[in-house]
């Protein structure tokens, strides 16, 4: 048990670096309004059935659904979406699905399934060594070591997502209009807690671009209501998103104001304006 706990602490310490991108505690999304888990499934299925969906987009949507349901403690349904993600024939990093499935089976005390997933993950990394890093290796060592032990803190495990993408260039991915992939990189709870308005508005914009759902809860809305006249690009974009979710259209007046803003300052953030133009 001593070695297992040491490995677990080491793993979590490494994982918490760059937490806005890579790590979310199993807290049921308490930092934001709670979401009904059935709504998560409904919206995911709607998105998966869109005409413009590609295999890559479908893969990231499945990861997002698995992640959201995991954070809401709906483990069986989370496992369902993660398994579907693993079954996708895409050459993408599947670490999130494997590791969170291992966590889920550990939490639910499903020993046989836990062993099967660990073996499947080991085979995956043998054929996909580019996705295996010291953190993942240490995690698998931990789980292999403890698989015959009964640990008392099963439900303390945090979930992993977007680890390999954390060091990628988020801006470049957004510019390429790969919004689902970009959205899959971000940890909403960490963003909300950090009060980083730049990351909050990026998260909210991607959330709306991916789901186009009127029920979307914007992280930026609370500071916007507090400072509605703030002349910053984050608050200008937040106002546009609020109007879009309410009226299902972009305000041409507010877009013109945002365009003028970027003409005078923060030209390097214009890619967010360009992304807004893709809302229909």
Q: What is the pLDDT of residue 275?
A: 92
Looking at the domain assignment, is residue 177 inside a domain?
no
Please tell me which of 103-107, 167-171, 192-196 the model is most confident about, judged by mean pLDDT.
Answer: 103-107
Q: Tell me, yes or no, whether 172 lies in a domain.
A: no
pLDDT reported for residue 80 = 93
Most confident of 59-68, 75-84, 183-192, 257-266: 75-84
Q: Which pLDDT belongs to residue 149?
A: 57
151 shares a domain with 49: yes
pLDDT band at 150 (very low <50, low <70, confident <90, very high): low
Is residue 190, in this structure, part of any structural domain at all? no
Shared-domain flag, residues 204 and 249: yes
Does residue 178 lie within any of the structural domains?
A: no
Largest Cα–Cα distance in the chain?
A: 63
Tens of pLDDT along 19-46?
Answer: 334 334 444 333 333 456 777 777 777 8
Question: Stretch 107-126: mean pLDDT, rounded?
Answer: 89
Domain assignment present for 135: yes
Q: What share of the chain has pLDDT > 90, as a percent?
A: 18
- Name the domain boundary from 151, 167, 183: 167
**What's the pLDDT at 167?**
43
Q: Which two structure tokens, joined as six digits, stand for 77?
A: 């349904």
The total of structural domains in the chain comes to 2
**Residue 175 lies inside a defined structural domain of this protein:** no
- Shared domain check, 19 and 150: yes
> Lowest mean pLDDT: which of 19-23, 125-129, 196-200, 225-229?
19-23
Same domain assignment for residues 46 and 160: yes
Contact in structure between 263 and 255 (CB atoms under 8 Å):
no
- Check pLDDT > 90 for residue 56: no
The verdict on 162 and 199 lying in the same domain is no
* 153/17 same-domain check: yes
Domain at 87, CATH number? 1.25.40
pLDDT at residue number 194: 67
Q: Which of 125, 147, 167 is the last residue of a domain?
A: 167
52-77 average pLDDT score: 85
More confident site: 1 or 95: 95
Distance of alpha carbon 82 from alpha carbon 101, whole angstroms: 7
Asked if residue 212 and residue 105 are part of one domain, the reply reads no
| Other residues' Cβ atoms within 10 Å of the Cβ of residue 30 | 12
Q: Which two tokens stand for residue 3?
A: 């070695």
Range of the domain at 253: 195-276
Q: Are residues 64 and 202 in the same domain?
A: no
Query: Does pLDDT of 163 surpass 60?
Result: no
Mean pLDDT in residue range 165-170:
56
Average pLDDT over the chain, rounded to whole? 76
Of the residues 128, 151, 167, the one at which a domain ends:
167
More reliable by pLDDT, 59 or 160: 59
- Whether 124 and 201 map to the same domain: the answer is no
Residues 121 and 199 in one domain: no
Q: State whether 24 and 102 are in the same domain.
A: yes
Residue 16 has pLDDT above 50, yes or no: no
1, pLDDT greater than 80: no
pLDDT average, residue stretch 198-224: 84
Looking at the domain assignment, is residue 111 inside a domain?
yes
Question: 241 falls in which pLDDT band (50, 70, 90)?
Answer: very high
pTM over 0.75: no
Gap between the Cα atoms of 175 and 231, Å rounded: 24
Is the same domain home to 160 and 80?
yes
pLDDT value, residue 148: 56
> What does the H/E/C string look like for the chain?
CHHHHHHHHHHHHHHCCCHHHHEECCCCCCCCCCCCHHHHHHHHHHHHCCCCCCHHHHHHHHHHHHHHHHHCCCHHHHHHHHHHHHCCCCCCCCHHHHHHHHHHHHHCCCHHHHHHHHHHHHHHHHHCHHHCCHHHHHHHHHHHHHCCCCCCCHHHCCEECCCCCCCCCHHHHHHCCCHHHHHHCCCHHHHHHHCCHHHHHHHHHHHHHHHCCCCCCCCCHHHHHHCCCCCCHHHHHHHHHHHHHHHCCCCHHHHHHHHHHHHHCCHHHHHHHHHHCCCC
Q: Is residue 268 part of a domain?
A: yes
pLDDT of residue 164: 40
pLDDT at 265: 80
pLDDT of residue 211: 80
């Amino acid at each position: 048990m001593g070695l297992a706990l040491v490995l677990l602490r080491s793993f979590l310490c490494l994982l918490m670096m760059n937490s806005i991108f890579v790590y979310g505690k199993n807290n049921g999304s308490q930092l934001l309004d709670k979401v009904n888990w059935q709504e998560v499934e409904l919206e995911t299925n709607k998105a998966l059935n869109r005409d413009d969906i590609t295999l890559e987009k479908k893969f990231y949507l499945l990861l997002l659904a698995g992640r959201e349901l995991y954070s809401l403690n709906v483990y069986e349904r989370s496992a369902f979406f993660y398994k579907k993600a693993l079954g996708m024939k895409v050459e993408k990093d599947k670490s999130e699905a494997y590791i969170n499935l291992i966590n889920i089976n550990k939490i639910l005390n499903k020993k046989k399934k836990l062993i099967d997933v660990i073996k499947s993950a080991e085979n995956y990394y043998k054929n996909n060594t580019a996705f295996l890093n010291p953190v993942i290796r240490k995690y698998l060592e931990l789980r292999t070591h403890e698989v015959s032990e009964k640990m008392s803190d099963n439900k303390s495990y945090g979930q992993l997502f977007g680890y390999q993408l954390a060091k990628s260039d988020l801006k470049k991915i957004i510019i390429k209009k790969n919004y689902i992939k970009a959205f899959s990189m971000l940890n909403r709870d960490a963003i909300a807690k950090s009060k980083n308005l730049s990351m909050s508005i990026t998260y909210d914009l991607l959330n709306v671009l991916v789901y186009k759902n009127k029920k979307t809860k914007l992280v930026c809305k609370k500071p916007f209501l507090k400072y509605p006249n703030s002349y910053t690009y984050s608050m200008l974009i937040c106002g546009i998103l609020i109007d879009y979710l309410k009226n299902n259209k972009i305000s041409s007046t507010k877009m013109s104001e945002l365009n003028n803003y970027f003409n005078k300052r923060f030209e390097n953030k214009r890619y967010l304006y360009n992304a807004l133009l893709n809302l229909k």
